[in-house]
Structure 1
Amino acid sequence: MPRTPIWKSIARTLANDIASGQYTKGEKLPTEAKLATRFGVNRHTVRHALAAMTEDGLVLPRRGAGVFVSHTPTEYPIGTRVRFHQNLRAAGHLPTKEILSLETRTAMAEEACHLGLKDGAKVHAYEGLSLAYAQPIAVFRSVFPAARLAALPDVLRETRSVTAALAACGVSDYTRISTRLTAKLATATQALHLRIREGTPILRTVNINADLHGTPVEFGHTWFAGDRVTLTLEAE
């Protein structure tokens, strides 16, 4: 089995230090010399690790001043109430969404199963990018039953808000009824959208959300950039 390059291990360790709060946004990292001593390597290896972290947007080098943390992970609570914008605003972040694709098509077998639809039923498929302060934190894909939620695509295009779109279709409230979390490695496309390198660790969530009667209204996948988000499971 091939060994992990030392510079990758250093970059991962420093990323974990940032995620744990050891280094906060705007704080200067130790010098290359101090990091080289800490990890028992030469400065060239440390420089390689810092360059990779810069490419991933974790740190920002300033000529003559050092390397500084560019951001810390976004706190994202996962609970019964599923509200992207409200969750991030409550955590002090400015959330936005970009639409990558929005189409109405035939449901795939897994989608039909989780939404309780018959074979051949149509769904609205919504793919997009979630951002906090213009920093991409997640790529997502959600599907909704088209027959019940006919107006949903138009409202989504206007508001970028699933909550508003569902409300416009008569779903006044909805909750998360299941979530599965799995560690993955970023594909080339996911890496491009998240501005990370292909193969970087990411976290995938698979969710089913239902109306107040327990009828599924959304089946979604979200791929979070692992070092930009801290997922918090809330007790209900």
Structure 2
Amino acid sequence: MRDTFAKTPIWRAIADALRGDLAEGRYAPGDKLPTEAALAERFGVNRHTVRHGISALVEEGLIRTRRGSGAFVAARPTDYPIGQRVRFHENLIAAGRRPAKRVLQVEDRAATDGEAKALRIRPGETVCAYHGLSLADGQPLAVVESVFPSGRLPGIAAALAAHTSITQALQSVGVADYTRASTRLTAVRATVTQALHLHVAEGDPLLKSTSVNVDEAGRPVEYGRTWFAGDRVTLTLEER
């Protein structure tokens, strides 16, 4: 008797197998999948068939691809509230994520006109610029640049070098508490250096947050710019 059962397309069988790998936890969010060549060898097919199977998972939102980098397991976006009190560690812990920060550079330099205006200091006055990388569950989440008025906060450079938490660094130089005075959100494209830090492709969409934090007396203590990986965070605005 003739076999009337339809055969499963090979690309679909590959997608099913990879979906099973994800369900079993073989690959964690953010992990890179084996190359197309490696998967083609595993399944005994050509790379075009593998690419078809991966495309199906991309459409489902399980996998994301980066030009020239490969395919990665899609991470669940982190809920990140932006309101009067923004604290990186507290926000991520509340979202069920493990926060971490990496200090890239701390430098003293002259303030630009825009920084001076935001911090209410004279143009060219010395500021301390902090460059860092914020991570969630070990995956890069955002590139950070924060500028602090050195004259208003003596010792801030040493404090930033000693603490990965900006809140702790400010507390160590006498700022017991601070709040967000303003926030501006824009969509931008990743530069080549931002792409390297965030493990994305140059030109990928980022969410840029520009903010000013003030102390209890209303004096600006931080002018910050943060570039979030667009597919790894959901920014929510909280009412004051």
Q: TM-score, normalised by structure 2?
A: 0.72
* Alpha-carbon distance in 1 for matches of 2:110, 2:130: 13
Question: What's 2:87 paired with?
Answer: 83
State how 1:82-231 maps to structure 2 within 5 Å: 82-231=86-235
Distance 2:198 2:70 in 1: 12
Are the aligned partners of 1:174 and 1:209 in contact in 2 as well (CA < 8 Å)? yes
Counterpart of 1:210 in structure 2: which amino acid?
A: V
Aligned partners of 2:170, 2:105: CA distance in 1, in Å? 18
Confirm or deny: 8 A CA contact 2:144 2:224 kept in the other structure.
yes
Aligned counterparts of 1:104 and 1:183: Cα–Cα separation in 2: 29
Alignment coverage as a number of residue pairs: 190
Q: Which has the larger radius of gyration?
A: 2
2:64 paired residue among 44, 49, 53: 53
How many angstroms does 1:120 deviate by? 2.4
Counterpart CA distance in 1 for 2:184 and 2:70 is: 27
SS at structure 2 position matched to 1:53: strand
Q: CA deviation at 1:44?
A: 7.0
Contact persistence 1:123–1:146 (CA under 8 A): yes
Indicate if the aligned counterparts of 2:64 and 2:74 stay in contact, CA closer than 8 A. no
Query: For residues 120-166 of structure 1, what are the alpha-carbon distances to aligned partners after superposition, in whole Å with 9 as ceiling and x for unaligned?
Result: 21100001100011100100101000012122222222221111111
For 2:32, the equivalent position in structure 1 comes to none
Maintained 8 Å contact 1:58/1:71: no
Compute the displacement of 1:53 (Å): 2.1
CA distance in 2 between partners of 1:227 and 1:110 (Å): 29
Q: Is the 8 A contact 1:59 1:70 kept in 2?
A: no
User: For the residues of structure 1 that align with 2:181 and 2:174, how far apart are their CA atoms?
Assistant: 19
Gaps of 5+ in 1: 1-22, 29-41, 61-68
Shift of 1:191: 0.5
Root-mean-square deviation (CA, aligned residues, Å) is 2.5
Residue 76 of structure 2, aligned match among 72, 75, 94: 72
Q: What amino acid is the match of 2:163?
A: T
TM-score normalised over the length of structure 1: 0.74
Task: State the match for 2:8 in structure 1.
Answer: none
Q: Would you say the 8 A contact 2:130–2:146 is kept in 1?
A: yes
Whether the aligned pair in 1 keeps the contact of 2:101 and 2:135 (CA below 8 Å) is yes
Q: Percent identity?
A: 50
